[in-house]
């Protein structure tokens, strides 16, 4: 146990880690107090003491997914050189994240929560907006560094990157297209080329 982390915090972290593993494969609704208690050999009452309700558990699972996403994708990407290299690193890290069991948790959870207002949907929407803001900000820096053209709409850029990544998720996870990564790389390269220079019409 790392210094400064209590036994209770370590137990909670272990619960959330396992809950995220389950949710990534079978969805948030597949994460129940009973299932976690059985898999982790904990009492249901103990789990309720940590989370209080299934909805609170779902919100915390989304928080754990966000924490892991920042550690695996955002933080390493932001350590790369400013401009296009940073943009490329963020995209590449996301594609690595998509290779986890079940694929991208956020992509899968949007289908599950899109028509279900409440704290879990709000937490998911915030996590996705934070990622889109990160992409837009990285694109803005690429403009400042003159890697991308001065009139680039950075929010449109983030929108199109998200669309490409969601297509990769669909083609890879649902359609099982063996060429999905090749198609994704082509789409990314074409978007980056358009971001450097406006295409002639």
Q: Output the six-digit token pair for 136.
A: 């837009």
Residue 145, both tokens = 């560094």
Residue 34 has what pLDDT? 84
Sign of CA pseudo-dihedral 64, 66, 70, 73: positive
Using one digit for the tens of pLDDT, what is the confidence trace for 30-62? 888 888 888 888 888 877 777 878 888 899 999
Q: What percent of the chain has pLDDT over 70?
A: 95
pLDDT, mean of residues 90-107: 92
Within 5-118, residue ranges assigned H as helices are 7-26, 33-40, 44-51, 54-69, 75-78, 84-98, 105-113
Asked, for residue 14, whether it belongs to a domain, the answer is no
Confidence of residue 23 (pLDDT cuts 50, 70, 90): very high
Between residues 3 and 84, which one has the greater pLDDT? 84
By residue range, what is the domain housing residue 83?
Answer: 54-196
8 is a domain residue: no
Has residue 157 been placed in a domain? yes
**End-to-end CA separation in angstroms for the chain:** 61
Model confidence, pTM: 0.88
- For the chain, the average pLDDT equals 90
Residue 141 lies in a domain: yes
Q: What per-residue confidence (pLDDT) applies to 5?
A: 59
Q: Could you give the CA distance from residue 92 to residue 77 in angstroms, rounded to a whole number?
A: 9
Instruction: Using the predicted structure, report yes or no on whether residue 201 has a pLDDT greater than 60.
Output: no
Which tens digit of pLDDT belongs to each residue from 107-151? 889 989 989 999 999 999 999 999 999 999 999 999 999 999 999
Residue 140: inside a domain:
yes
Q: How buried is residue 40: exposed, middle or buried, by Cβ count under 10 Å (0-12/13-18/19+)?
A: middle
* CATH number for the domain that contains residue 121: 1.10.357.10
Domain count within the chain: 1
Residue 146 lies in a domain: yes
The Cα–Cα gap between 106 and 101 comes to: 13
Which of 81, 80, 23 shows the shortest CA–CA distance to 54?
A: 23
The answer as to whether 2 is a domain residue is no
User: In whole angstroms, what is the distance from residue 165 CA to residue 161 CA?
Assistant: 6
Q: Classify residue 67: in a domain, yes or no.
A: yes
């Amino acid at each position: 146990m790392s210094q400064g982390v209590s036994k209770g915090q370590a137990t909670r972290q272990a619960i959330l880690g396992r809950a995220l593993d389950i949710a990534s494969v079978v969805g948030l609704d597949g994460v129940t107090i009973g299932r976690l208690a059985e898999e982790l050999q904990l009492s249901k009452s103990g789990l309720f003491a940590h989370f209080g309700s299934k909805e609170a558990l779902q919100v915390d699972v989304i928080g754990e997914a966000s924490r892991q996403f920042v550690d695996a994708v955002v933080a390493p990407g932001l350590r790369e050189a400013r401009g296009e290299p940073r943009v490329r690193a963020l995209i590449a890290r996301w594609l690595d994240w998509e290779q986890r069991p079940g694929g991208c948790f956020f992509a899968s959870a949007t289908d599950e929560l899109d028509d279900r207002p409440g704290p879990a949907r709000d937490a998911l929407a915030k996590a996705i907006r934070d990622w889109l803001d990160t992409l837009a900000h990285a694109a803005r820096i690429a403009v400042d560094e003159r890697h991308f053209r001065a009139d680039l709409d950075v929010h449109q850029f983030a929108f199109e990157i998200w669309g490409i990544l969601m297509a990769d998720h669909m083609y890879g996870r649902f359609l099982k297209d063996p060429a999905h990564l090749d198609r994704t790389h082509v789409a990314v390269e074409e978007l980056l080329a358009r971001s450097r220079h406006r295409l002639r019409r």
